[in-house]
Structure 1
Amino acid sequence: MVNNYGNYILPFTIYATVITFMLSPVGITAKLRAVSFWVVAIVLFKLITLLYRKNSQRFFNLLVVLLMVYFGLTISSYFVPGFSSFLNGRFKGIMGNPNGLGLLSLFCYALLGLIKDKKEAVYSDQFFRRFKYLLIFLIILTGSRTALFSVLVYEVIVRLLHKKALMVFYLLLIGFIFTFINSVGFETLVESAGLTEFLRIDSIKDASGRTEVWPVAWAEINKNPWFGQGIMYDNYFIDDYVERYFGENVARQWGGVWSSYLSLLLDVGIIGSIVYTLFYIKVFKKSSDKKLALGFLSICLLSGLTESWMASSMNAFTPIMFLYWAIQTQNTQKTA
């Protein structure tokens, strides 16, 4: 009998569902969204286990093909007449949102690294290398600073753990680079490199307006910090706040909370956030490749700083997160 590690999210689902039933002003949709965390997890973990154990090579080949099709369509959208594939100078492809495409490319970057590490797909190392370069190129086109920085952190972690003999050298190099940037000034370096417009240096300090939203969300969190107000309360609160204080003419940053951690605290409080963290701890312990798992964990944590994807199961990112951990927790030795 094979354990379904998707059940590791069950304690969080139970807690979130109870809190949502008791405190949420949203309605039945919020209750269903709470339950969907567990449903999506157990379905994906079970499906991946079945496909992996039946024919792991076919499964990985199919997964790579699906990624090629999606990103092929994304790139092709640039050449479709009349289709707007850019938003304010940033590539959005068929995703419709530059930051969304950046994060999706980021998650798939780590997923490709895991598939390559399994060495069961028919594709060569050169193919995976070029595919990952393509994803980095897409991330650059989207202008997603969070995704780009997360890729760098991922690579540093994986390479440090892969070549432990060079760890001291890498750490010294990172320390030197950090000291150099700190002494010269980040803005000066960006300006001298001609990347001011690309990195949107003028909006870095306020995180593209997010710093206006975060204090408002934090003040609301303090009203019920331990338990939260139920799944989807973060969106409900921001929509209500905008309606009361801004009306229809509102800046883009007021379209959400823009932080998974603040969203989780609004929805399920400190207790729920701790229970949610236990899922990551448990699947990490079960992962087959700890260095890649740690790299992916860093991606999840960093991307959560400026995006609220963790607080929902019905988006493009949480299912990929479940997919990644489902593959990581498969035994290296297949059993009948």
Structure 2
Amino acid sequence: MTTHDPPWYRRFVDSTIFWPLMALAALLIFNAFSSPSFFDIQVRDGHLYGSLVDVLNRGSIGIILAVGMTLVIATGGVDLSVGSIMAISGAVAALLLTETSQPFPVVIVAALSASLIAGAINGVLVSIVGIQPIVATLILMVSGRGIARYITGEKVIALVDDQFSPAFDFIGNGHFLGLPFTVTLFVLLFLATLLIVRRTAVGLFIEAVGANPNASRAVGIHAHGVKIAVYMFSGLCAGIAGLIDASNINAADTVNAGVFTELDAIFAVVVGGTALSGGRFSLTGSLIGAILLQTLLTTMYTFGVAPDVAPVPKAAVILFVCLLQSDVFRRMVFRRAKA
């Protein structure tokens, strides 16, 4: 560190994860005083249970979607179709499990392959055809749920046969090392993604395409390929989330699967400090943002807030954190406070 570098605490305060972390800490402190049982952890049959574990378990889908959404937004795009891709993934898995005798690994590969194809379609529409990301992904958002309903024959496919349900049930309801298996899934996905984008040139390519696509092409970066790849990765993340969702209820509910999850994923990414304009991104910030939103929802449900009312305080918290991340807003507030 040179003499001109700011101290570590100043770099931390100026980082994109500072305010989401402060909001999460404030929420946890509020729970510590108002509902101490929020931090109670129980061990039953070698498994951990408690509100904190529920936050990680129920927030796993949002975290997985936020990981994929982060890379899409970093390229200057957005993916509104992740909820519909979740429905498609669950529908493919449930149909193969109930109507065929395919081995379980083949079922998982088929469901995730369908998700990758959906993501590739989004990527081609955005990068090759040149459709605006919000319009291109809106097409699959609308049509994808219809495709999922066609796959299931417009009915809910229940998984009740003991011959195939235990392995599938483990995805959303199993435990590994005492924690829900969903926690293991999002931790592995997050670490693998973080390793790839920060220890290889992939992250630099994504940021370059998001900051200036024309300049990135001029220096030899295949901008079209990068965009298709990130949309495919977002589709893969949505496919994994769809398997978790279907496994949680042991059924493929194409009407309710993944509804509004795309908005929560975008909120988590924005709260985590990644700009919708593209360029620099923070996977860690998106992780914190997703955990913050799920902690807020769990807190509200603990205090009996109705699910129909819950989006209002959630929106207020998102707005507040985003304003705190704005240098202009902080200067304006602190200048008035000083005056």
Common fold by TM > 0.5: no
Higher relative contact order (CA 8 A, sep 6+): 2
- Scaled by the length of structure 2, the TM-score of the pair is 0.26
